[in-house]
């Protein structure tokens, strides 16, 4: 497998992880908006923490994608 093929595979993987993190974030926010009056505060806090972690993971994947794209353009 050539270096460019490996980089393309890594980019594809990180793109999937980015969109998965985005989906988790949107799902948690939608759930919280829908159920904020019916659940305990600690459950909402856990959902907020999970959405924060999902955004952090998504941003990390985005940075990985940008670095891999730069490396691919240099290769």
* Residue written as token pair 């924060």: 52
Task: Check residue 73 and report its DSSP letter.
Answer: H
1: Cβ contacts below 8 Å, ≥ 6 apart: 9
| φ and ψ at residue 40, rounded to 5 degrees | -70, 160
Q: Centre a 10 Å sphere on the Cβ of residue 66 and count the other Cβ atoms it contains.
A: 12
Mean pLDDT of 37-45: 89
Segment 44-71, tens digit of pLDDT: 999 999 999 999 999 999 999 999 999 9
pTM (2 decimals)? 0.85
Range of the domain at 16: 3-74
Count of domains for the chain: 1
What average pLDDT does the structure give for the chain?
Answer: 92
Task: Place 23 in a pLDDT band, splitting at 50, 70 and 90.
Answer: very high
Which pLDDT score is estimated for 36? 84
């Amino acid at each position: 497998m050539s270096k460019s093929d490996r980089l393309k595979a890594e980019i594809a993987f990180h793109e999937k992880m980015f969109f998965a993190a985005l989906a988790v974030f949107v799902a948690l926010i939608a759930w919280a908006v829908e159920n904020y009056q019916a659940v305990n505060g600690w459950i909402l806090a856990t959902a907020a923490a999970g959405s924060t972690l999902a955004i952090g993971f998504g941003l990390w994947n985005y940075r990985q994608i940008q670095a891999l794209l730069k490396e691919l353009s240099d290769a």
